[in-house]
Amino acid sequence: MSYEWKDSFLLSLPGVCKDFKAEWNWTRYMVGGKLFCAVCHDERGGEVFITMKLEPLRGEFLRGQYADILPGYYMNKVHWNSVGAEGSVPQELLRDMLEESYRLVAGGLAKKTRAALGLL
């Protein structure tokens, strides 16, 4: 399954910017300077994992339901989860997971930062 829509979807969320961290070979999506999603690439530039933050119990539940949802690649294994970029996770579920990650990280920003980003 292909998730080609994810870049435009993530960039449509308020206050989101992205960059490419060459040392890690990751495309990073951030809100208020805080990472909420990373797309991990292989040496040829192909996408390998889409990593995002989830509530710990939800992440654990989803890992038990889908073989393509794993503990976060190079991240805290309790709070972060990775989805195989060419996996079998339904599109709508991935969209929900990305939205949850955004909400968790944006919600943890200082009130002043959220106000500046128009998130209040």
What single-letter DSSP state applies at residue 75? S
Q: Which domain holds residue 39?
A: 6-116
What single-letter DSSP state applies at residue 24? T
In a domain, 65, yes or no: yes
Alpha-carbon gap, residue 77 to 22, rounded angstroms: 23
CA distances in angstroms from 65 to 78, 89, 114, listed in the order given: 16, 10, 34
Alpha-carbon gap, residue 34 to 109, rounded angstroms: 8
Q: What pLDDT, on the 0 to 100 scale, is given for residue 70?
A: 95
Token look-up 């128009």 returns 118
In a domain, 1, yes or no: no
Query: Model's pTM, two decimal places?
Result: 0.94
Tens-digit pLDDT profile for residues 21-57? 999 999 999 999 999 999 999 999 999 999 999 999 9
Neighbours of 113 (CB within 10 A): 17
In a domain, 51, yes or no: yes
Q: What pLDDT, on the 0 to 100 scale, is given for residue 86?
A: 87
| CATH code of the domain covering residue 33 | 3.90.1150.30
Count how many domains the chain has.
1
What single-letter DSSP state applies at residue 103? H
Across the range 106-116, mean pLDDT stands at 94
Q: What pLDDT, on the 0 to 100 scale, is given for residue 10?
A: 98
pLDDT band at 1, cuts 50/70/90? low
Across the range 94-118, mean pLDDT stands at 95
Across the range 94-116, mean pLDDT stands at 96
